[in-house]
Structures are given as structure tokens and as C-alpha cells.
Copies of this chain bind each other. A is one copy, B any other.
């Protein structure tokens, strides 16, 4: 089994100190503001990042212990494979969030859309360059779960 060692480049300042506070499930709006705080030695790597409106943040589910290949997400009443969900209990406990970049102050990126815990280690930041056209996107079991929920409401 090949293992790879990854390095934290900084951490997230977030309003969420417990996972229960993070909005989950169908239509959860991630509007929370937070700060991506880079270690000073990596600040130079942010040059010109201000020009991008959105960023990918790749981070560690640092409080998740172990993994489960099947799990029942908060958005559904049946289990799905871990790679078809955003479960924290993954073989490689990596999280991925798209945030909107509000402004930069030195090694700090002020962003909107955080869904990580306060203190979450950041592994990488990349510019968000293009989107899949909405008409080409299929959302699998999540669309079905939303539809079931919609129909069950009076």
C-alpha cells in the first residue's frame, strides 16, 4: 500500500468549533466567512491569487478517526459508497471546499463559504478555473434524495 506524506501549509480560522455547527444536507448554504492563514514561509506562493474570485481549498479531516466504505449521509436514508459522498471517514481523509476569495492581507486569505472546523490544517490552495455547465451535471443519489424529500412534504 503506497502512502504519501503531505505538508500543512497553514490552517483555517472558522466560526465552527464543533462539527454539529456546520450546515449539512440538501441545500445547506455555506455562507460562513473565515480566514485561510498560511504559515509565513509559504506567503510568497500567494502572489497574484487576488485576481481569482474562487479557490479550491484542499484540507485534512483532522478529527476523523478511521474510515468506512459505506455510510449514510445526513441527506439520505440509505447508505452510499464513501467516494459517492463527502463523508469525513475516507481512506485518505482529505476535504475539498470551493470558497469565494473576499480579500487578501499578507499570508491571510479572507474567504466566504467555509465548512471546515476552526484549526483545520490546509494542504493546498488552487485557483478555481472553470465550471461544468449546469445542463451537463448529474447529481446521482443526492438528486434522488432531494426529490423524495420534496414529494414527502405536504
Interface residues of A (CB under 8 A from B): 1-9, 39, 42, 44-54, 56, 58, 60, 62, 69-70, 79-86, 90-94, 96, 98, 100, 121, 123-134, 136-144
Contacts and interface: CB of A to CB of B under 8 A. Distances in A.
Given A46-B81, A132-B98, A91 B124 contact: yes
B44 A69 contact: yes
Given A8-B3, A83-B124, A134-B131, A140 B50 contact: yes
B131 A49 contact: no
A144 B50 CA distance: 13
A53 B50 CA distance: 31
How many copies of this chain are found per oligomer?
2
Given A92-B123, A124-B90, A53 B136 contact: yes
A84 B48 contact: yes
Contacts of A42: 69, 83, 91
Contacts of A91: 7, 9, 42, 45, 124
A142 B129 contact: yes
Contacts of A39: 1
